[in-house]
Amino acid sequence: MFTWYKQSTPVERNTFWGCFAGWGLDALDVQMFTLAIPAIIAAYGIDHTQAGAISSVTLISSALGGWIAGALSDRFGRVRTLQMTILWFAGFTFLCAFAQNFPQLLLLKALQGFGFGGEWAAGAVLMAETIRTEHRGKAMGAVQSAWAVGWGAAVLVYAAAFSWLPADTAWRAMFAVGLLPAGLVLFVRRNLKEPVRVAPVGVSAGPKVSALAQILQVFQPRVLRTTLIGALLGTGAHGGYYAIMTWLPTFLAKERHLSVLNTGGYLAVVIVAFWCGCMLSAYLLDRIGRRRNIALFAFCCIVTVLAYVMLPLTNMQMLVLGFPLGLFAAGIPASLGPLFNELYPADMRGTGVGFCYNFGRIASAGFPVLVGYMSHSMSLGAAIGIDAAVAYGLAMIAVLLLPETRGKRLRGAAQEPSAGASSDSADAARLTLNPPRS
């Protein structure tokens, strides 16, 4: 599985570790907040609705930030945008430590979200254009596993802070640690190289499009079908995840009267399962292709979540079944980066990746709400199962409507057809590929 790393060039390895560190530190910042919620509620005297609003605002701003940062990476370059987003989310995470009231924290978390979402978009495109074709799926799937590493680090920081400091100081100290990613910019600046992106041979570069036109170019006729189906795929992938993870703790506590989700053992199982899911998906992406891999993981997610909500499970059985649930849920996000990058031409690749992935994050907010609404006329478990099955079913249908992109070479702009050429439409619709290489 790791043979690809030994075969990588120094540039490929530096890019891998730069993006791995950035994504892992993103996870550290995000997961620290979820762990600190009880202390924040006590510090500001807010209720659970207000605490949930912080998460919702951060999710929405991160989605918008991902779309905008993707467009900026097309306009100013992948590495420069990656640097800016890392500095942005690190700085605002640090400032959260000094928030004096709820409105201040809400605003700072919203601003932090822009950088968090943007870092993934810029890093994903940089990885896709740097790693060689035959190893792209393995490398990008492995980078996604950095989320589990950052999640585990957040748990350790949380344990240390709340063991040594008073609760009201501990959560602030956790956010202060968020400044660490700023040091990553030094690494990014010194070791990462911008992929070559020049005007096509024989074609005038022409005037630079406006910033708004850059953001909206994914709705051009030549890629509109790809954008709509990609957004549908992102919606299904994220919707299933949030439908499960938002309501599963309530379901197990209220309907099954189980306490397993409150144990450190379950948290460890979920984190390890997430890492394993990303690595398994990374291996299969270049082995069986993008479409089959996503469809396989989506189907397994449906089967696993239905078992969760329909079978009479004990605490130990729930702990054991938590591993495949976390593993399959992680495999789909780990697949989206390679696929979305391979669907778009170089001149709008960052914008397309940022839009498809992050549209799904915004649209997915409706799935947890739908579960709550459906639970008024049926059991909560049935509502979760139906909602998640519909979401993952949507992902399966969407990915089957897209072409298989395994083996596609992401050529620089100098080797791609011009923006107005008819072959662009053909490339976006059919993605004429080079033969896959294993």
Answer yes or no: do 321 and 373 share one domain: yes
Q: Note whether residue 196 is domain-resident.
A: no
Whether the per-residue pLDDT at 9 is higher than 50: the answer is yes
Average pLDDT for residues 260-273, to the nearest whole number? 72
Answer yes or no: do 181 and 330 share one domain: no
- Say what the pTM is: 0.79
Domain boundary among 189, 206, 233: 189
pLDDT at 260: 55
Answer yes or no: do 266 and 124 share one domain: no
> Average pLDDT over the chain, rounded to whole?
81
Answer yes or no: do 302 and 155 share one domain: no
CATH number assigned to the domain comprising residue 87 = 1.20.1250.20
Enter the tokens of residue 30. Answer: 């995000």
Q: Note whether residue 2 is domain-resident.
A: no
Contact assessment for residue 352 and residue 343, using Cβ atoms and an 8 Å cutoff: yes
Contact assessment for residue 102 and residue 242, using Cβ atoms and an 8 Å cutoff: no
Question: When comparing pLDDT for 235 and 37, which is higher?
Answer: 235
Whether the per-residue pLDDT at 210 is higher than 80: the answer is no
Answer yes or no: do 416 and 287 share one domain: yes
Whether the per-residue pLDDT at 414 is higher than 60: the answer is no
Cα–Cα distance measured from residue 352 to residue 216, given in angstroms and rounded to the nearest whole number:
9
Average pLDDT for residues 394-408, to the nearest whole number? 91
Q: Which domain holds residue 144?
A: 9-189
Neighbouring residues of 249: CB distance < 8 A, sequence distance ≥ 6: 261
Domain boundary among 172, 189, 206: 189
pLDDT at 202: 41
Distances (CA, A) of 73 to 83, 124, 219: 11, 11, 18
Q: Note whether residue 207 is domain-resident.
A: no
Answer yes or no: do 352 and 234 share one domain: yes
Enter the tokens of residue 144. Answer: 């996604």
Answer yes or no: do 359 and 227 share one domain: yes
Helix/strand number for the chain, H first, E second: 19, 0
Q: Note whether residue 54 is domain-resident.
A: yes
Q: What tens digit of pLDDT does each residue of 27-73 get?
A: 887 788 878 888 888 888 887 678 777 877 887 888 888 888 888 88
Q: Positive or negative CA dihedral for 415, 417, 420, 424?
A: negative
Q: What tens digit of pLDDT does each residue of 223-234 get?
A: 999 999 999 999
Q: Note whether residue 96 is domain-resident.
A: yes
Cα–Cα distance measured from residue 136 to residue 371, given in angstroms and rounded to the nearest whole number:
36
Token match 């997430």: residue? 274
Q: Note whether residue 291 is domain-resident.
A: yes
Domain boundary among 189, 204, 238: 189
User: Pick from 114, 123, 125, 147: which is nearest to 340 by CA?
Assistant: 125
Average pLDDT for residues 282-286, to the nearest whole number? 91
Comparing 65-74, 222-231, 395-404, 413-422, the range with the smallest average pLDDT is 413-422
In the chain, what is the greatest distance between 2 CA atoms, to the nearest angstrom? 69
Whether the per-residue pLDDT at 149 is higher than 60: the answer is yes
pLDDT band of 338, cuts 50, 70, 90:
very high
Question: When comparing pLDDT for 270 and 148, which is higher?
Answer: 148
Q: Note whether residue 157 is domain-resident.
A: yes
Contact assessment for residue 348 and residue 276, using Cβ atoms and an 8 Å cutoff: no
Average pLDDT for residues 147-157, to the nearest whole number? 87
**Cα 234–Cα 416–Cα 405 angle in degrees, nearest 5:** 40
Answer yes or no: do 381 and 422 share one domain: yes
pLDDT at 270: 80
Cα–Cα distance measured from residue 341 to residue 348, given in angstroms and rounded to the nearest whole number:
10
Distances (CA, A) of 30 to 17, 69, 87: 20, 18, 15
Comparing 115-129, 263-277, 295-309, 415-429, the range with the smallest average pLDDT is 415-429
Answer yes or no: do 229 and 356 share one domain: yes
pLDDT at 322: 80
Answer yes or no: do 225 and 293 share one domain: yes
Cα–Cα distance measured from residue 433 to residue 385, given in angstroms and rounded to the nearest whole number:
38
Enter the tokens of residue 158. Answer: 């949380």
Q: Note whether residue 45 is domain-resident.
A: yes
Answer yes or no: do 66 and 167 share one domain: yes
Question: When comparing pLDDT for 438 and 362, which is higher?
Answer: 362
Report the domain count for the chain: 2
pLDDT band of 425, cuts 50, 70, 90:
very low
Question: What letter does residue 344 receive in the DSSP assignment?
Answer: S
CA dihedral 199, 201, 202, 203 (to 10 degrees): -30
Contact assessment for residue 20 and residue 8, using Cβ atoms and an 8 Å cutoff: no
Contact assessment for residue 74 and residue 350, using Cβ atoms and an 8 Å cutoff: yes
Whether the per-residue pLDDT at 381 is higher than 70: the answer is yes
Answer yes or no: do 85 and 44 share one domain: yes
pLDDT at 199: 43
